[in-house]
Amino acid sequence: MTQILGHNYIGGQRSAAGQLNLQSIDASTGEALPFDFFQATPEEVDAAAKAAAAAYPTYRSLSAERRAQFLDAIADELDALGDDFVAVVCRETALPAARIQGERGRTSGQMRLFAKVLRRGDFYGVRIDQALPERKPLPRPDLRQYRIGLGPVAVFGASNFPLAFSTAGGDTASALAAGCPVVFKAHSGHMATAERVADAIIRAAEKTGMPAGVFNMIYGGGVGEALVKHPAIQGVGFTGSLKGGRALCDMAAARAQPIPVFAEMSSINPVIVLPQALQARAESVARDLTASVVQGCGQFCTNPGLVIGIRSPQFSAFVQQVAGFIGDQPAQTMLNAGTLSSYGKGLKKLLAHPGIEHLAGQAQQGNQAQPQLFKADVSLLIKGDEVLQEEVFGPTTVFVEVADQAQLSAALNGLHGQLTATIIGEPADFAQFAELTPLLEQKVGRILLNGYPTGVEVCDSMVHGGPYPATSDARGTSVGTLAIDRFLRPVCFQNYPDSLLPDALKNGNPLRIQRLVDGQPSREAI
Amino acid sequence: MTQILGHNYIGGQRSAAGQLNLQSIDASTGEALPFDFFQATPEEVDAAAKAAAAAYPTYRSLSAERRAQFLDAIADELDALGDDFVAVVCRETALPAARIQGERGRTSGQMRLFAKVLRRGDFYGVRIDQALPERKPLPRPDLRQYRIGLGPVAVFGASNFPLAFSTAGGDTASALAAGCPVVFKAHSGHMATAERVADAIIRAAEKTGMPAGVFNMIYGGGVGEALVKHPAIQGVGFTGSLKGGRALCDMAAARAQPIPVFAEMSSINPVIVLPQALQARAESVARDLTASVVQGCGQFCTNPGLVIGIRSPQFSAFVQQVAGFIGDQPAQTMLNAGTLSSYGKGLKKLLAHPGIEHLAGQAQQGNQAQPQLFKADVSLLIKGDEVLQEEVFGPTTVFVEVADQAQLSAALNGLHGQLTATIIGEPADFAQFAELTPLLEQKVGRILLNGYPTGVEVCDSMVHGGPYPATSDARGTSVGTLAIDRFLRPVCFQNYPDSLLPDALKNGNPLRIQRLVDGQPSREAI
């Protein structure tokens, strides 16, 4: 097995100046793995942020093609991580090997997709208004706009996607694509995994001649606070809990120079099951919905945590069907002891609430998570009871029965911001419930018809975002190519001679990218 | 003269529930104008925000063409505001009639430009990834993304552009274009102007059948805080002081649901005068620079507040020339007594600083602003002395002499974020000082060669933004069509049948807009 050093990654070097050693845990057995990780000292956090800042002027000025080569090289290195790597990830997360192999491909594919975006060039957002020297009363100067990377970005990975939302995940990929060096805070739940992935990134950086400091990684609890407060850091990507994400937002907003934080936090992902769909295919909906609830032990940001239907004998029967299916699902091992403990606490809150009834699931105990089903009174939604707004991360969902179509809208209006909402219906349902799409649009980042929210496609049109508290900024997405926009800002050149302009803005359009020229999209030279 | 009621504008009605009356002041004489304005009560602030929220679902769902018609109608109403209107603005601001006439045209032109953007359709940011049902291991669902308005937006206008950055200014225009109803906080410096403009907007809204509440306006000091904290408000546009803007940012960040604030605040707009330019044309540079410093009594966000050159006999002579020109400039009346008082305080700070020398200008006294010239030691910039980072709003500028090319970079590195930076040079200068453009790119939103930063073109490629403290979010601009992006967020539709999709996303592309389809820009139907 490749050696795990456990040292921090700072400016292309490894550093272990601290005294505090951390250990990674086998998620299935609870045993410590035989690796030591060195918590970054305040000086090391400072050095990592400064290394990123030092790399920024060079890195952001590289051609998009050079950055694309770097991302492609990372993808190749990720694909080359072999069975021993998969075994380490499985031990740290209790996720099955097939899932990790799939996630590895998703993560390398994500890097290659951002390489494509760099070559496509639309991320530059080029806009050109040519001079109008004869305009009255005043001439118009030549004005040209493109976008550059914000500066060094701090990234906090997620426990539940040790590859795709972590060290080399979507936030890192989009920041690196944007021209922003990254300081990654390794997740305590999979530090050996993080080290192997960081090694892959560093190898790719060396092979493609990137500046030292383009990627840095630090270990440790509490080091993230110093990182977000560091003056060199210009943006933050985060995936995790509402509490953790909000704390980072508050720190970032209180800085002498506030910086943007893109935190993907808490979502209960309502699923609305409409009457005609229940008439037509209640059993298959019950089966597929259950599969979505328990998939990966329910450890997905888009796990359906709330199912809403209109009172009817069909809906009652449907609830019973789901209860039966949920009751048949086996317990599963969660990502780590902290996740299991949070799941237990979340279930206790639901069980203790007088407006919530437990419908199915073995009593939660031991070291695995038991799938659970609950039913809540609709008044909790309409009155905005916090218990239904909080994500319970794990294999559980809550059914809500509404009296009629009007109460359905009232209940949905009571929801906070969400990553997704799903409508299960037949054409007749869509005609009858036409108000749902515009209503849900105001609440979520993605609306699905007749699908399930788990399984987030990495593509141009994906939105993995949404109004607070799903994320801290509804204008961003953390999956899909639009994620690069979070880390870019526009710059305008006025009256620059062609020779001094960046390639993206030159008259000849040497990058052959699409540009908005005098209000018209164009790939032509000027 | 049209009647000035002084009542708040709430949901298409006028409201004067409060007891506190405010008066507008003649900026030249200090006399109160014969109008009473009613400070909005907390209930009226709440009602205004709720009126905007009530209008939002209807307004955001209108076709882009309908919203464009509304903006065009506002433009027509603005153009129709006649001489009596111009007279009111002149009395409230002491700005000359020709300037107000020009600004009226700029403001209506801005509305029409956003109408064009709506018809062009690129603001939708449409991205379509078609289904791949045969893909292995998993099929890809059909995914389509467009952008919708964030929700009701609070706008705070600027004193220095009573039309173009105020009631119907760029923030209002871009928010309305995005589909966001507006609650405008009338500026205390030009409340009668604000009323006349609000009337114009309301007339346009009625003529084009917009929902009541699409535009609301409230009067009063301190009402802005309640507005920014109101749960219905989803975004904020602001132009004004660093102190005021930062206070709004802090309030917005501390809300239960934090919201984005786009505050354009403080910039000293460095001008770098390079050696060959001084050789070639020192006198014309001195003349044009002086004109830019004193234009409009220096009351522009892009006023050049810092001029940097390299020590040489030519630079010393240039400083003397500018001192001569500045000394010849007449005093001017400022926008209001508060602005004059701030100017006086700013000058006192400069005069009291041991590292700063006064070069030209009559002693500041009386009720007009005297143009001033100062020279500061370069160490103040390099050490980051706050006195040089703070904008002194008015007709004054500070010269800094650096020892050599290396010290020029060091001095520029010491600058905080700026709206603009300007380089005055000849081709030989640009070759010798090639490091300046990438350095300044990291500091500012717009870099000008051989121009002057005052005069901000309203077009697609303008960036009137920049790193903190120039603005609160370097990713935005408050002038130019990109300003609409601040108030939009993406939404994704998964697996929607064509008939249920918004027009922008339908297969047939009925809006005939450009879209990114399977990674390729296209105007074709699918």
B311 CB near a chain A CB, below 8 Å? no
Rounded percentage of chain A residues whose pLDDT exceeds 90: 96
Confirm if A260 and A489 have CB atoms less than 8 A apart: no
Q: How far apart are CA B237 and CA B122, in angstroms?
A: 22
A366 CA to chain B: closest CA distance, Å?
34
Q: What is the 3-state secondary structure (H, E, C) of B351-402?
A: HHCCCEEEEECCCCCCCCECCEEEEECHHHHHCCCHHHHCCCCCCEEEEEEE
Nearest to B494 among A254, A447, A474 (CB): A447
Q: Over the stretch A177-186, which tens digit does the pLDDT of each residue have?
A: 999 999 999 9
Suggest the residue from B479, B492, B520 to mutate for an interface test with chain A (most A CBs closer than 10 A): B492
Residue A133: how many CA atoms within 13 Å on its side-chain side?
Answer: 1
Residues A260, B468: C-beta atoms closer than 8 Å: no
Mean predicted confidence (pLDDT) in B259-263: 98
Residues B445, A490: C-beta atoms closer than 8 Å: yes
Which helix H or strand E contains A524, and what residues bound it? none
A436 CB near a chain B CB, below 8 Å? no
How many CB pairs (< 8 A) connect A and B? 205
Of A151, A155, A177, nearest to A232 by C-alpha is A151
**If pLDDT is split at 50, 70 and 90, which confidence band does B308 have?**
very high
Q: Over the stretch A360-404, which tens digit does the pLDDT of each residue have?
A: 999 998 899 999 999 999 999 999 899 988 899 999 999 999 999
CA angle (B446, B452, B456) in 5-degree steps: 55
Confirm if B305 and B392 have CB atoms less than 8 A apart: yes
**If pLDDT is split at 50, 70 and 90, which confidence band does B114 have?**
very high
Q: How far apart are CA A23 and CA A18, in angstroms?
A: 14
Mention every residue, 6+ apart, whose C-beta is less than 8 A from residue A210: A55, A59, A62, A70, A204
Mean predicted confidence (pLDDT) in A250-276: 97
Mean predicted confidence (pLDDT) in A92-117: 97
- Within 10 angstroms of residue A512's Cβ, the number of other Cβ atoms is 10
Mean predicted confidence (pLDDT) in A421-440: 97
* Known catalytic residue at B249: no
Q: Supply the pLDDT for residue B447.
A: 98
For the packed helices A170-178 and A97-120, what is the interaxial angle rounded to 10 degrees? 20
Residues A249, B253: C-beta atoms closer than 8 Å: yes
pTM of the model: 0.97
Mean pLDDT for all residues in chain A: 96
Rounded percentage of chain B residues whose pLDDT exceeds 90: 96
Confirm if B234 and B228 have CB atoms less than 8 A apart: no
Q: Over the stretch B31-43, which tens digit does the pLDDT of each residue have?
A: 999 999 999 999 9
Chain B residue with minimum CA distance to A258: B472
List the 147-176 stretch of A: residues with Cβ below 8 A of B.
Answer: 148, 150-151
Rounded (10°) CA dihedral B455, B457, B461, B463:
40
Of A17, A72, A65, nearest to A201 by C-alpha is A72
**If pLDDT is split at 50, 70 and 90, which confidence band does B258 have?**
very high
Which helix H or strand E contains A334, and what residues bound it? none
Chain B residue with minimum CA distance to A248: B253
**If pLDDT is split at 50, 70 and 90, which confidence band does B373 have?**
very high
Is the pLDDT at B296 greater than 60, yes or no? yes
Residues A447, B145: C-beta atoms closer than 8 Å: no
A7 CA to chain B: closest CA distance, Å?
32
Of B189, B185, B162, B175, nearest to B81 by C-alpha is B162
A247 CB near a chain B CB, below 8 Å? no
Q: Supply the pLDDT for residue B390.
A: 86
**If pLDDT is split at 50, 70 and 90, which confidence band does A474 have?**
very high
Residues B129, A490: C-beta atoms closer than 8 Å: no
B442 CB near a chain A CB, below 8 Å? yes
Greater pLDDT, A365 or B406: B406
Is the link from the previous residue into A137 a cis peptide, with omega within 30 of 0? yes
Which residues on chain A are in Cβ contact (under 8 Å) with B490? 445, 463, 465, 475, 477, 482
Q: Over the stretch A119-132, which tens digit does the pLDDT of each residue have?
A: 999 999 999 999 99
Which residues on chain A are in Cβ contact (under 8 Å) with B269? none
Is the pLDDT at B276 greater than 90, yes or no? yes
Mean predicted confidence (pLDDT) in B405-434: 97
Residues B145, A461: C-beta atoms closer than 8 Å: yes
Q: What is the DSSP string of A40-104?
A: PPHHHHHHHHHHHHHHHHHHHHS-HHHHHHHHHHHHHHHHT--HHHHHHHHHHH---HHHHHHHH
**If pLDDT is split at 50, 70 and 90, which confidence band does B137 have?**
confident
Is the link from the previous residue into B469 a cis peptide, with omega within 30 of 0? yes
What distance, in Å, lies between the first and last C-alpha atoms of chain A? 56
Mean pLDDT for all residues in chain B: 96
Mention every residue, 6+ apart, whose C-beta is less than 8 A from residue A468: A416, A417, A474, B257, B258
**If pLDDT is split at 50, 70 and 90, which confidence band does B2 have?**
low
Q: Supply the pLDDT for residue B3.
A: 85
Q: Which of B264, B297, B391, B401 is catalytic?
A: B264
- Collapsed DSSP state (helix, strand, coil) of residue B213: coil
* Known catalytic residue at A301: yes
- Collapsed DSSP state (helix, strand, coil) of residue B431: helix
